[in-house]
Amino acid sequence: MKIVVDTNSLIYAVKGKFDLFSELKKTFSDIIIPKGVMKEMKVLSISAQRTSDKVAAKIAIQIVEHSKVKIIDIGNTHIDDRIVVYAKDNSCAVLTNDAELKSRLKNEKIPVFIISKNSKIKKA
């Protein structure tokens, strides 16, 4: 199974010092990072209100760029909208801790995974 990773999961993993990609590779055949997620992280790395978010975004960008994951273009509209459509059309799961996105994905019967407080990936 393939999994699409949302921005907040990357930030959360960095802040928690969690080796996200090693854990995802144990379960998923393909890890997909949308280009829109990379754009969001670049914006956060410059303009996030909290310094910890800026630093986490910068580190997350470096980790993604040096990992063997797919960075793909899934469209130019709102990234959450594109993640829902892409995951549905391509039978992908999604990793996100964003409550609104999780709800939308569940309504579409798309498998949703989260990073738990004890740094475990689990089904939402």
Per-residue pLDDT tens for 19-57? Answer: 999 999 999 999 999 999 999 999 999 998 889 999 999
CA distance 57 to 59: 5
**Number of domains present in the structure of the chain:** 1
Q: Residue 62's domain is classified under what CATH number?
A: 3.40.50.1010
Give the pLDDT of residue 120. 87
CA distance 56 to 122: 22
> What is the average pLDDT across 96-106?
96
- Residue 121 contacts residue 115 (beta carbons within 8 Å): yes
Could you give the C-alpha distances from 59 to 12, 24, 83, 105, 123, in angstroms and in order? 11, 18, 22, 27, 26
- Residue 102 contacts residue 114 (beta carbons within 8 Å): yes
Closest among 71, 42, 70 to 57, alpha carbons compared? 42
Per-residue pLDDT tens for 53-89? Answer: 999 999 999 999 999 899 999 987 899 999 999 999 9
CA distance 3 to 70: 10
Kindly give, in sequence order, each residue whose CB lies less than 8 Å from that of residue 4, ignoring residues fewer than 6 positions away.
32, 33, 34, 83, 86, 87, 92, 93, 94, 95
Residue 72 domain boundaries = 2-123
* Residue 2: alpha-carbon gap to chain centroid: 12
